[in-house]
A = this chain, B = another copy of it.
Amino acid sequence: MKLYEMKIAPNPRRVRIFLAEKGIAVETVEVDLAKGEHMSEAFKAKNPMRKVPVLELDDGTCISETMAICRYFEELQPDPPLMGETPLEKAQIEMWQRQMEFYFMLPTGMCFQHTSGYFSAIRKTFPEWGERNREDVEKFFHYLNRHFAENTYVAGEKFTVADITALCALDFSKVNNVRIQPEQEHLARWYEAVNSRPSAKA
C-alpha cells in the first residue's frame, strides 16, 4: 500500500494525522505539484482529478479524496474511533467534519489559490474572489472561538476527524496571513490542545 502525497499540502496532512492517531504506518510517495508531477499520465491514471492524496492498494486499486481514504482506514481499523460509533455520532461527526471542510478548508484554499500567485502561471485567478474568501475565513475564526467556549473539540467532547480537518485548515490559513486573534482565547486553547498531540507532527 502506498500513499501518494505532498508533505507541505494540507489535505495529505489530514490523512497522515489520521493514520498517526490510528497508529497505522503507510509508505508514502512524494508528488511535487510545483514541478507538475501530478500532470503526468501515470498520475492521472491514479486520480483523473490530478489531486493528492491518493492511496494505492497492493492490487493497484486507487482511492482518492482525503475523507474516502480516512473512511477506508476507519472501517479497516475502527479503534480508536475518529468518525463515531453509533448512527447519531457518525452523522454528527460527519456534519462537523463537513462544516470544517466547506466553511474553513475550502475558502482557505480559494483565498490561497486566488491571492497568493502560486497558481497564477497555470490558470487565471480572481483576486477579489480570493479576498472575499479571506473575509469569510476571518469571520469563521470568530464563530469557532464562540464554539470552543462551549465545546472541548469540534464535535463535542471527543477528538475526531473534524478536529483534524480544522487543525489542517487553521495551519493552512497562515499562508493567507489569517491568524488566531489575541481575544480568541477559546480557539487558542483548542489549537494548543490539538496541535500538541503527537499526531500533529505527522
* Contacts from A to B (Cβ < 8 Å): 48-49, 57, 61, 63-65, 67-69, 71-72, 75-76, 86-88, 90-92, 94-95, 98-99, 103, 124, 126, 128-129, 132, 143
How far in angstroms is the closest Cβ of chain B from A145?
A: 13
Contact B126 A132 (CB under 8 A): yes
Contact A49 B103 (CB under 8 A): yes
Bound CA–CA A86/B63 (angstroms) = 14
Partner of A88, one of B61, B91, B103, B132: B61
Beyond A68-B98, A126-B126: 6 further Cβ-contacts under 8 Å? A57-B88, A63-B92, A64-B95, A67-B94, A71-B90, A129-B129
Do A75 and B99 form a contact, CB below 8 Å, given A63-B92, A124-B132, A128-B126? no
Nearest 3 interchain pairs by C-beta: A75-B87, A72-B91, A68-B95
Closest to A55 in B: B91
Q: Which residues of B contact A90 (CB under 8 A)?
A: 71-72, 75
Bound CA–CA A48/B3 (angstroms) = 36
Q: Which residues of B contact A86 (CB under 8 A)?
A: 75
Contact A65 B49 (CB under 8 A): no
Contact B48 A68 (CB under 8 A): no
Q: Which residues of B contact A87 (CB under 8 A)?
A: 71-72, 75-76
